[in-house]
Chains A and B, each alone.
Chain A
C-alpha cells in the first residue's frame, strides 16, 4: 500500500521533471491543443426555445408536439397597448391598433395576427351574412360608430379579457408565429422586428405605452439571459479569482499562470460543446463559470504547496516538482469525483443539465491535465519568489490544532449537537414547494420580465390547451358535443385564476344568432348536427387569410381546441386546475370527450417531478461511484463508508436551510445533489487521507491523527471552501433563477460541508473508535488494515 503511494509519488515526480525539462514543447502543445478545441466554439449558439428544457422522451412534450401538429404551433408575441387616456376605443388609438395589426403580418414567421380591429365581426342584414373587420379605417369612424364597436368588442367572449380589458382601457395584439426551426436566430429575428415596431409606435404616438409579452419573448430571453450572464458573471469570476489568488499565493506570476490554466480549460469545455453540437441555454451557459471555479481550485493547491516548499527553503524547480508530487493524487481524486457528480447530470430529463454536466466534466478533466502538465511548465519559466515563512502561517496551523483538540475533547456534545442541528433542518425539507413559473425564471433586471409582469396586470399569460375529441369524424357539430363543450367552457370560466376561455361554441352561438336575423333569442347552440356543420362551412368560406379556424378545429372535424388562459399561477395552482379540469370532464361528459391538458405551462408543471425522479437514479449512481472512489482512495472500506455521512449530510442540511429561508425552488434543484456531492467530497478526501496517513504511517491515535489532519490540510480545506463557495455564489447572481438557485444551494452545501467536516467528522471518528474499542477490546486496530499494528 505504501508502495502504491510511492509509485504514484515517483510517477508524479517524473512527470513534473519532464514537464519542466520540455516546458517549451509542453506550452506549445497546450497552445495548439487549446486552439484546436477553440475551433469548435463558432458552432455554439443559444437555443431559443423553452422546449430545449424537455427531453425527446418527455411525455408532456410528446403530447404537446402532437397537439401542435394537429392544430398550429402556438408561439406568440403579445403586444399590449395602453393609451394614456384609458380609452382604447378612440379613433386615434384604434388607428394605432390597426397600424400595429397590419405591421404584425410583416413580423418574420408570423402566420396569424389577431386584434380588436381585424376581429371578424359577423352580423346579419336581411338575408345577408356580413363578415368584416370590426374596425377598418378608424379615423373615419364617428363617435356613435366607436361606441358601437366598443360595445361589440366588450361583449364578445373571444375578445373580452383576451385582447381587450373589460373596461376598454387596454388592448392587445396577438401575433402567432410558426418558426421553420432551421436555425437558432429565427426567434431573435422576429423579436427584433417586434421591438423596432414598438419603438417606432411609441416614438410616433407618445400617448401610447406598449409592453411586449408572449412565448417568443420568453424564448428570446433564454438567449438574452444566458448571454447577459456570460458577460456579467465570467468577468466577475475573474475578479474573484484575482482577489483569491493574491491572498492565497501572493504572486503575480502564479496568478498569471492560473489565469492561463482556467482560460484554456474553459476554451476546451466550450469548444467541445461546439463539436458536440450542444445548443446553449442559460443553464449550460453557466458551465464556464463553474469550470473557472473548479479549475482555480486545482491550480491553487499546486501553487500553495509550491510556495510553502519555497518558504521551507527549496529551490523553485524542486518546489514545483514536490508540489506536483504532493498534490497529484488528491487533485486526481477530487477531479474524478467532481467529474462523476457532473456526468450524473446526464440522467436528468432536462437536456440542458446534461449539457452542463458534460461541458463541466470536460473542463474539469482539462483543468486537471493542465495543472499537472502546463502549470509546472509555465511556473518554471515565470519568476516567483517566496518570502521566508512568517509566524502567521504557524498561527493558522496552531489554530487548526486548537480546533482539533476542542473537537476531540467535546466529541460527544459536538457530535450530538451537529447531528441534531442537521436533523432539525432536514426535517424541514418536505415543506419545500416546487415552483416552475418559467417566465419568472428571468430576473426583473431583464426587460422581458418587467414587461411580462406589467402585461399580467391586464391579461392572463399561461395558455392551457385541451384538444377535446368528438365521437367521430365531423362529430364536433353534434349537439351533445357542443353542449358539453360549452358547459366545460362555462365551468372553466368560473374557476379562480382563469382569465379567458376560447371555445368554438361561442362562434357557434354567434352564427346561430346571425343566421336568424341577429335575434338575441337565438344566441344558443344549434340543436341540429347538419345545421352546425353548415354554419361552420359558411363561416370558413368567409374568413380572410390567416384568420381561419384551422388552428381551432382538426381537419376531419373530430376534435376542437379549447384554450383556457390562466393568470400568474404557481405550479401547484396549475396542477390543481389541471386535475380539477380532467376530473370535471370525466364526471360530466361522455367518455369520448375525456382528455388531458397540454401546453408549455403543463410541461413546466411536471418538469420538477420528472427531473427529480430522473435524477434519483443519477444521484444514487453518483453516491455509489463516489463512495467506491473514496474506498479505493482511502484504501479503507470503513472510512469510505463513513465518508458518506459528511458527504451527504451537508447537501440535505442545505435543503433544510433553503426550506427555512426561501421555501420554493425551481426544478434545477434536482441537479444540486449530484453536483455538490462531487464537489464536497473533496474536503472529506483531503481530511481522511491525512487522518489515515497519520494512523497508518505515523501510528498516531485517533485524537493525534485528527490533529495531524487539521494541521496539515485544515487551511487548505478552508481556502478550497472559500474558492468554491465564492464561485458558486457568483452563479447566484445569474439573471436566470434556475442558475441562481443551483449556485446558491451548491455554495451553501459547500460551506456546510466544511462545518460538518470540521465538527461532525472528527467527533464521529472519536466516538466510533470509543465504541469499537469498548466492544472489541482490540481497540483502534479494528480497521480492516490488519497489517498495521499501531504503536502504543
Chain B
C-alpha cells in the first residue's frame, strides 16, 4: 500500500480533536488552530468533527480498483443497465481532490470509452474523455459537475469520493434510520457545497455512530426542495478500517426515476500511481 504523501500531523491533530469533542466540551485551544474559517457555532464544529471522523475512516487506502453495475429505472418502470469500472488514486491532502478513471464496458456502443478526472475541491474538475470510435482523447471543459452521469440519477459529484472540504458542515441531531432493512443510530449532519455550480443548495447526511459511515444522503435542489435520496447499503470492511458501501440506491423524488449502483469487490493497493492518471494513458490503455 502506498504511504500517505502529506501532512500526517494535521490529520492526527484533527482526529484527536474529534475524539476530544466526543468526550465532552473540548478545550478550545485543541481545535482553533485546525478548524476551517467557516466554523462558527458549536453545531458547525460538531458537524465538521463528525464529517472528519467519517472521512478519515475511509481514507488512507491509497489506490483502488472496482467493477460496478449501474441500473437505471424510469417512472414508467423500464430498466436498463450499464457496466463500468473505476480506478481511484487517493490524495491524502484534504485540500486536493482524488484522481480517477472510469471505463465503460457496456452498452457495447460505448465499450472502452474512458473518463479521466482530476478532482478539485473548489475549482471545476479537469476531465478528459477517450472516444474509441474517434480514437482520440478530448478534454472536456465544463464548469458543471451536477448533471446526470450517463443518464443516471447520480451526478458526477455524487459518487466521487466525498471530499471533506467541499462542504461546510453543520450538526443537526441524532436519529435512528432504516437503510436496506437495517436500523441504525446516526448523527445527522447537513452540509452546504462551497464550490460554484453545484446542483444542490444543501445535503443532509446520516452518519452511523458505530462504523462512522454515511448511510444516507438527502439532496436538496437550488430552491431548497428535496430532490433525491441516496441510500448506501452493504458496507464491507477492507483491512484496517476501510469501509466501502457496495449498494447505492439513488431515488429522484421529483421525476420518480431511480438508479442502483452496485459495486463488486474493491481491490486496494493495486499499485496505481500518478502516471496512471494522465491523458496519455487513456489513448494507450483503453
Contact = CB atoms under 8 A, between A and B. Distances in A.
Nearest to A553: B151
Interface in B147-174: 147-151, 155-156
Interface stretch (A129-137, A309-317, A402-410, A423-431): A129-137
Interface in A44-103: 66, 68-70, 72
B116 to A, nearest CB: 12
A260 interface: no
A72 B252 CA distance: 12
A534 B72 contact: no
Interface residues of B, number: 49
B74 A474 contact: no
B147 A105 contact: no
A623 to B, nearest CB: 43
B127 A541 contact: yes
Contact of B76 (A66, A533, A541, A548): A66
Interface string A97-122: 00000000111111100000000000
Contacts of B257: 550, 555
A546 B255 CA distance: 11
B109 interface: yes
Contacts of A542: 140, 142, 144, 147
B151 A550 contact: yes
B110 A537 contact: yes
Contacts of B141: 125, 128-132
A531 B129 contact: no
Contacts of B148: 540, 543, 548, 550
Q: Which of A541, A547, A549 has the most B CB atoms < 10 Å from its CB?
A: A541
B146 A544 contact: yes
Contacts of A180: 254
A132 B127 CA distance: 15
Contact of B142 (A130, A178, A550): A130
Interface in B254-268: 254-257
Interface stretch (B33-41, B89-97, B131-139, B231-239): B131-139
Given A474-B108, A533-B109, A545-B199, A72 B255 contact: yes
Contacts of A543: 142, 144, 147-148
Interface in A506-546: 515, 528-535, 537-538, 540-546
A541 B147 contact: yes
A555 to B, nearest CB: 5
A410 B108 CA distance: 89
Given A132-B143, A534-B110, A69 B133 contact: no
A76 B79 CA distance: 27
B136 to A, nearest CB: 7
Contact of A541 (B74, B109, B150, B223): B150
B193 to A, nearest CB: 11
B74 A549 contact: no
A598 to B, nearest CB: 13
B254 A533 contact: no
B80 A473 contact: yes
Contacts of B144: 131, 542-545
B241 interface: no
A543 B134 CA distance: 21
Interface string B92-111: 00000000000010011110
A540 B151 CA distance: 7
A380 interface: no
Given A72-B255, A529-B109, A531-B134, A541 B140 contact: yes
B109 A474 contact: yes
A47 B158 CA distance: 38
A98 to B, nearest CB: 15
B109 A477 contact: yes
B150 A540 contact: yes
B249 interface: no
A380 to B, nearest CB: 61
A534 B134 contact: yes
Nearest to B140: A542
B28 interface: no
A540 B144 CA distance: 11
A554 interface: yes
A535 B134 CA distance: 10
Given A129-B139, A550-B148, A555 B78 contact: yes
Given A473-B80, A550-B151, A531 B74 contact: no
A557 B104 CA distance: 16
A555 B74 CA distance: 7
A374 to B, nearest CB: 51
B138 A128 contact: yes
B10 interface: no
Given A533-B109, A537-B113, A554 B140 contact: no
Contacts of A109: 225, 254
A533 B256 contact: no
A180 B255 CA distance: 9
A753 B139 CA distance: 79
B147 A544 contact: yes
B4 interface: no
A543 B140 CA distance: 11
Given A127-B136, A178-B255, A540-B151, A70 B74 contact: yes
Nearest to A478: B109
A356 B209 CA distance: 58
Q: Which of B138, B149, B155 has the most A CB atoms < 10 Å from its CB?
A: B138
Contacts of A546: 199
B115 interface: yes
B223 A110 contact: yes
A111 B140 contact: no
A497 to B, nearest CB: 31
Interface string B188-224: 0000000001010000000000000000000001110
B73 interface: yes
A556 interface: yes
B75 interface: yes
Given A534-B132, A534-B134, A556-B80, A69 B256 contact: yes
A537 B76 contact: no
A537 B199 contact: no
B232 to A, nearest CB: 21
A537 B84 CA distance: 13
Contacts of A547: 147
A506 B38 CA distance: 46
B115 A541 contact: yes
Q: Which of B75, B144, B199 has the most A CB atoms < 10 Å from its CB?
A: B144
B131 A555 contact: no
Contacts of A69: 74-77, 256
Q: Which of A107, A515, A545 has the most B CB atoms < 10 Å from its CB?
A: A545
B195 to A, nearest CB: 13
Q: Which of A125, A129, A474, A544 has the most B CB atoms < 10 Å from its CB?
A: A544
A679 to B, nearest CB: 45
Nearest 7 A/B pairs, CB to CB: A545-B199, A533-B109, A556-B80, A544-B144, A69-B76, A545-B146, A531-B133
13 contacts: A70-B74, A477-B109, A530-B109, A534-B110, A538-B129, A541-B149, A544-B143, A544-B197, A549-B151, A550-B151, A550-B257, A554-B74, A555-B151
Interface of A: 66, 68-70, 72, 105-111, 125, 127-132, 178, 180, 473-474, 477, 515, 528-535, 537-538, 540-550, 553-557
Given A108-B225, A515-B136, A530-B133, 8 more contacts: A68-B75, A105-B223, A106-B222, A129-B139, A544-B146, A548-B151, A553-B151, A557-B107
